[in-house]
Amino acid sequence: MPTNADRSEGAHRRPAGSPIGVKICGIRERSAFDAACEAGADWIGFVFFARSPRCVTPQTVATLLRSEKKARPQTVGLFVKADDSTIERTLSVADLDILQIYDTPARALEIRQKFKRPVWLSCAVTTPIDLPENTMLDGYVIEPRAPADAALPGGNGITLDWSLLRHWQAPSPWMLAGGLTPDNVARALAMSHAPAVDVSSGVETAPGEKSPELVRNFIKNVRGYCAANKR
Ligand SMILES: O=C(O)c1ccccc1NCC(=O)[C@H](O)[C@H](O)COP(=O)(O)O
């Protein structure tokens, strides 16, 4: 398994001129998994949060990962305030490359230490003061704060003010998430200068129902933005 540095380096911190990274999150079915792999996604996210319409079992993930792929994206397991035993049980069935958590920076460091994998921390941003400063973490998923009445801390299909990020000096690798779609991702990249993007509901036809065509279009539009802007 590549080292943290390799993964984090390969994943987020892209030297100038390198392609922008793409994460397709909330994959549950083979059709979307195949579409993301074949279209060249850099990461595929699997949600282990019971209240999510994208929740998937470790066994389903293990089955998907057994399928031979020429170029397989790195896998990201998504946990919300999960304890060690929950993460351990999941990893014992599905050997995920990276962990993404909805928790505290201290918990991210604990999990990295215990499970010897890169840990990305999701960070809810409304104003510039919400932008993280901690340089110790492997990476951040920068997304809007969930509405007070939301059932989920992420995956809500809402956007943040992308201009907030344009001049941000990120302390660690990061990716932009929240309300991205095939139609708005180029504008989001132009406004935020994000080195990577993450999408879930924007490539679905219904909550949890990924559209292979929307997945392909999203990735195609990111690659088109890269080509047009020599990134
Ligand atoms: O996607 C979910 O259902 C989800 C549930 C609970 C916690 C996080 C979740 N998704 C996290 C992600 O990384 C999403 O890709 C990110 O929040 C963007 O979601 P969207 O606005 O739907 O593109």
d(CA 173, CA 178) in angstroms, rounded, equals 17
Nearest protein CA to atom 1 of ligand 1, as residue: 155
Structure tokens, 171: 């302390």
Indicate whether residue 154 lines ligand 1 (CB < 6 A): yes
The number of the ligand 1 atom at minimal distance from the alpha carbon of 208 is 3
Nearest protein CA to atom 13 of ligand 1, as residue: 25
Task: From first to last of the 231 residues of the chain, give the pLDDT tens digit.
Answer: 222 333 344 444 555 556 899 999 999 999 999 999 999 999 999 999 999 999 999 999 999 999 867 678 999 999 999 999 999 999 999 999 999 999 999 999 999 999 999 999 999 999 999 999 999 999 999 999 999 999 999 999 999 999 999 999 999 999 999 999 999 999 999 999 999 999 999 999 999 999 999 999 999 999 999 999 988
d(CA 144, CA 123) in angstroms, rounded, equals 8
d(CA 168, CA 31) in angstroms, rounded, equals 37
Distance 49 CA to ligand 1 centre (A): 10
> pTM for the complete prediction?
0.93
Sort 136 into a burial class: Cβ within 10 Å, 0-12 / 13-18 / 19+: exposed
d(CA 108, CA 196) in angstroms, rounded, equals 20
* pLDDT value of residue 8: 42
Distance 208 CA to ligand 1 centre (A): 10
Distance 1 CA to ligand 1 centre (A): 26
Indicate whether residue 177 lines ligand 1 (CB < 6 A): yes
